Structure 1
Amino acid sequence: MSGLVVVGVDGSASGLAAVEAAAREAQARGAGLRVVHAFVWPAMHVALGPSPLGPPEGGLQKMADRLVAEAVERARATAPEIDVSHAVVTGEPLTVLEAQSRVAELVVVGSRGMGAFVGLLIGSTAVHLAAHGRCPVLVVRGQPSAEGPVVLGVDGSAAGERAVDFAFAEAELRKAPLVALHAWTTWNAPMPAPQDASAPYANPPGALAGEEECLVSEALAGYRERYPDVVVEHRVVHGGTREALVDASRSAQLVVVGARGRGGFAGLLLGSVSQAVLHHAHCPVAVVRAAGAQH
């Protein structure tokens, strides 16, 4: 066993979908799986045992034990050969899972939990963990295309290098092609039909698109040699990054993004593109923080 995949469960349908995805990830990686439930009630000094007026199998502690047992059973049914452990940890979900991420190679959560408000596209735990987790975080949402590619959002930033490595590794594990997608906008596009070729913002036709293609090639440099079995498609599109990634997610089995991109503000732990993809993608999303990223 080479590592550990952690999945957070809360008894919701979204959490059980995360368990199945986490079991498959553990199987592909040859890793163990730890099922974790954040048990907040002891910290609030609430009675955990059954009520004197209720059945003996009642109570919050028994409920927590049952939902973890159900998740463990689901994991073993999905991937019978993996080693599955479990823990009920006292604390708030984000705090518990952030601590777990320090020893895991991947943390998996559902997009919405038991406490999700109607109308919310994604729960706060998933968003906050993507921003604070110490390892890559996989948020299970939508309907992945089993035969689709892994889609990687490429921005050319140093912060995105770890996401590139993760995406190649996932594509290799899944035996899937990799689509390296980079979107660019026209804020610095050439003026139409300039009269003066020396105008400061004039560019030869196609020059900007060529530069953006070079950016993708440079971001992927070296990874093709490290992952020779991964078929890679460069996809450079003229348009908004968020819209392009969400559209690509319709036919993907996974979208991988960095936590912050080239235009990230200092101190912002999760960029706007990452947040938009978490909220609107049609398939699971992996958010990968830069190596050495601090809170």
Structure 2
Amino acid sequence: MGADGSASSLAAVGTAAQEAALRGAGLRVVHAFLWPAMHVPLGPSGLGPPEGGLRHAAQRVVAEAVERARSVAPEVDVTHAVVTGEPLTVEAQSRAAELVVVGSRGMGGFVGLLLGSTAVHLAPHGQCPVMVVREQPAAGGPVLLGVDGSPAGADAVDFAFAEAGLRGAGLLALHAWTPWHTPVPPPQDPAMPYAGEPGELARTEERLVAEAIAGRRETHPGVEVRTRAVRGGTRETLIEASRTAQLLVVGARGRGGFAGLVLGSVSQALLHHAHCPVAVVRGSAAGR
């Protein structure tokens, strides 16, 4: 978990402690300390108190985060580290982690920005799933899974089912579609190239959701699953549904993504506007 002393970061520490407790795992609190790399004096000023200075400030940030984590989940083994570099260096810590948790905005954020640069960078580049803690989740709400039917989204499906099982929560697999973003089926009548049976497009999208979660009910029998295929914009539909969810899970990129983009436009919009924590799962990250 990345900590920087901000209110958003401390909220994320609490969520990270809860996640560690659910998994029976340890929690590592990491603070990225930029100033040593810039050769700035780290000790206290000769005119100030002995507990002053940048190094002591970094240590206080970590100590406060560790205290918060232990107050939320006393049973969790909490360790900490101060690493030299920009906050983005937390990415290296993700290589040996099951999950990275960060706040939506940190101490370095500009007023008016909805999402900090660290969260923006880690979501598509983390070597494991990345959870960005935004607003407080709805108590008792389901784990909300954004389904797009792409092969890259399969790991997000697995992560969402596992998370629902750990939390003892239900799972809502939600897919939003519009005719403009849905492949057109082969024409049945050459004279009517776009004709189809009434409701066929909606049924096709409902099958997409069923196929996306196929087999997961058997591997997670304790998870109560609901599926929905909604005609509407993906961003708007998922953001609205997140109001009553305790977690929103999406893949880093969907079937509508442009080649070369590491984070799809839908995932970016959700990180900025969702009403609950958002977990972004890259195509090869969920199984770590």
Same fold (TM over 0.5): yes
The answer (yes or no) to whether the contact 1:188–1:201 under 8 Å persists in 2 is: no
Q: Which residue of 2 aligns with 1:48?
A: 42
> 1:1-295 counterparts in 2 under 5 A?
7-94=1-88, 96-187=89-180, 198-291=191-284
Question: Across the two proteins, how many residue pairs are aligned to each other?
Answer: 282
Q: Distance in 1 between matches of 2:177 and 2:191?
A: 24
Structure 2 gaps of 5+ residues are 183-188
Residues 56 and 253 from structure 1, CA distance in 2 versus in 1: closer, same or farther, beyond 3 angstroms?
Answer: same
Q: TM-score, normalised by structure 1?
A: 0.93
Structure 1 gaps of 5+ residues are 1-6, 190-195
- 2:264 maps to amino acid: G
The answer (yes or no) to whether the contact 1:255–1:284 under 8 Å persists in 2 is: yes
Offset from partner CA, 1:89-115 (integer Å, 9 cap, x none): 001111x21100100010000000001
Question: Post-superposition shift, 1:186?
Answer: 2.1
Q: TM-score, normalised by structure 2?
A: 0.95
The answer (yes or no) to whether the contact 2:142–2:245 under 8 Å persists in 1 is: yes
Q: Distance in 2 between matches of 1:230 and 1:176?
A: 7
Offset from partner CA, 1:240-282 (integer Å, 9 cap, x none): 1011100000010000000000011111100000000000001
Question: Post-superposition shift, 1:143?
Answer: 2.2
- 2:77 maps to amino acid: D
Residues 18 and 103 from structure 1, CA distance in 2 versus in 1: closer, same or farther, beyond 3 angstroms?
Answer: same
- 2:237 maps to amino acid: A
- 2:159 maps to amino acid: F
Question: Post-superposition shift, 1:139?
Answer: 0.2
Question: Post-superposition shift, 1:197?
Answer: 9.1
Question: Post-superposition shift, 1:146?
Answer: 1.4
SS at structure 2 position matched to 1:38: strand
RMSD (Å) for aligned C-alpha atoms: 1.7
Residues 14 and 79 from structure 1, CA distance in 2 versus in 1: closer, same or farther, beyond 3 angstroms?
Answer: same
- 2:21 maps to amino acid: Q
SS at structure 2 position matched to 1:131: helix
The answer (yes or no) to whether the contact 2:87–2:118 under 8 Å persists in 1 is: yes
Q: Distance in 1 between matches of 2:128 and 2:96?
A: 8
Q: Distance in 1 between matches of 2:192 and 2:143?
A: 41
Offset from partner CA, 1:92-149 (integer Å, 9 cap, x none): 111x211001000100000000011111111111011001101000000012001101
SS at structure 1 position matched to 2:166: helix
Offset from partner CA, 1:149-188 (integer Å, 9 cap, x none): 1000000100000000000001001111100000000227
Q: Distance in 2 between matches of 1:217 and 1:99?
A: 36
Q: Distance in 2 between matches of 1:159 and 1:17?
A: 30
Question: Percentage identity across aligned positions?
Answer: 74
- 2:95 maps to amino acid: R
- 2:267 maps to amino acid: S
The answer (yes or no) to whether the contact 2:129–2:285 under 8 Å persists in 1 is: no
